[in-house]
Amino acid sequence: MQTEEILIQLGLTKLEAKAYLALLSLGSATALPIARKAKIKRTSIYNFIDHLIDMGLVSKTTRNSRTVFVAEPPERLESILEEKKEILDKNLASFKSLFAESAEAPIFRYIRGVAAVKEFYKDSLKMKGKTLRVITTKEATMAYIGIPFTNRLIEGYAKNGVKEMILRHYGQKALHKYSSTEDAKKTLREVHILPQGVDLKFSLVIYDDTVGLIAPIQENYGFVIQSQSFAHLMTVFFDQMWQISKAV
C-alpha cells in the first residue's frame, strides 16, 4: 500500500496527504516549495494546512518575516490512532445503547466456508447463558472445523461454566480427546444418542437467542439466526429429541 493511501485511511484528505508527504521530505518550507513538491496549487495549501497543524502533523514558525511550515515526526501518526481509539472507547457505550434499542429485531446471517463457521463457534464462547444445545451430523462437527479447534471449544465452554447438551447420531463416535464418559463429566458435557434411523442433515447449535444451522461439509455453508422466538422454537424441538434419545 502506498504511503499516500495509508494517510488517507488515517483520516487525511488526498491533498493533505500529498502536502504532508512533501513536507516530510523537505523538513521545513514555505508554502511554495511544498506546493511544487506535492504538485498542487500553492493557494490550496492554505485551505487545509491549519487542519494538519491541529492534528499535530505540522507546526509553523516565522523566519525572516516569512511563515515556514515544519513537518512533525511520523511517530505522531501513532498518537492520532491512539486519540481516535480513546474517543471511541469513551463513546462506545452510546453506540451499544443504540444497538440494544434495535436488538429485538431478528438478525439473519448467511455464513460460508470453514473460517466463517469457526468464527460462529468462537462467538458462542461469549454466550451469556450457561447451556449450549448441540446436534452434530453423522459427519461430526469436528470433521468440519478440525479436532484441535473442537478440543479448544470444549475447554472454553467448560472454563466458562457452560453445560453442553449434545445429541449424536446413532453409531456416531467422537474423535476429540474428551470423548470418554469421565471426561464428558469433567467438561460439563452430557451426551445422548438419537434413535436409529433419525438422520438430521444439519448440525444445530442453540444458545441464548442464537441458532446456528450448519450444512454438511460438501455444501459448505450455514445460517445464523438471532431471534428469541426462533431460539425458543428450536429449543423445544431439541428438548423433544433429547427426551426420546438415549443417554451415553
Q: What three-state secondary structure class fits 110?
A: strand
Q: Which pLDDT belongs to residue 6?
A: 83
What is the pLDDT, as a whole number, of residue 8? 83
What is the per-residue pLDDT across 170-226, written as a single tens digit (0 to 9) for each? 776 666 666 667 777 888 889 898 898 888 888 899 999 999 999 887 788 899 999
Instruction: Kindly report the length of the chain.
Output: 248
C-alpha cell at 60: 509553523
Neighbours of 141 (CB within 10 A): 23
Confidence of residue 98 (pLDDT cuts 50, 70, 90): low
Burial 182-194 (b: 16+ CB within 10 A, else e): eebeebbbebbbb
Find the Cα–Cα–Cα–Cα dihedral 235, 143, 154, 113, rounded to 10°. -70
Q: What is the pTM of this model?
A: 0.57
Does the pLDDT value for residue 101 go beyond 70?
Answer: no
Please give the average per-residue pLDDT across 74-101, as a whole number: 78
CB distance 148 to 117 below 8 Å: no
Model confidence at 4, in pLDDT bands (50, 70, 90)? confident
Q: Kindly report, as residue ranges, where domains of CATH 3.30.870.10 are found in the chain.
A: 106-247
Element of type H or E holding 82: helix 76-101
Fold topology of 3-76: Arc Repressor Mutant, subunit A (1.10.10)
Tens of pLDDT, residues 113-148: 888 888 999 999 999 999 999 998 766 566 667 788
Q: What is the pLDDT of residue 103?
A: 53
Q: In what order do the strands lie in the sheet with 66-71?
A: 28-29, 66-71, 58-63
| E strands in the chain | 28-29, 58-63, 66-71, 107-112, 131-135, 163-168, 189-193, 203-207, 210-214, 221-226, 246-247
d(CA 116, CA 144): 12
Distance CA 163, CA 231 (A): 17
Q: What is the CATH number of domain 106-247?
A: 3.30.870.10
CA distance 161 to 20: 53
Is the pLDDT score of 42 beyond 90? no
| Residue 230 pLDDT exceeds 80 | yes
Walk across the sheet containing 210-214 and list its strands.
Answer: 107-112, 221-226, 210-214, 203-207, 131-135, 163-168, 189-193, 246-247
Domain with CATH 1.10.10.10 in the chain: 3-76
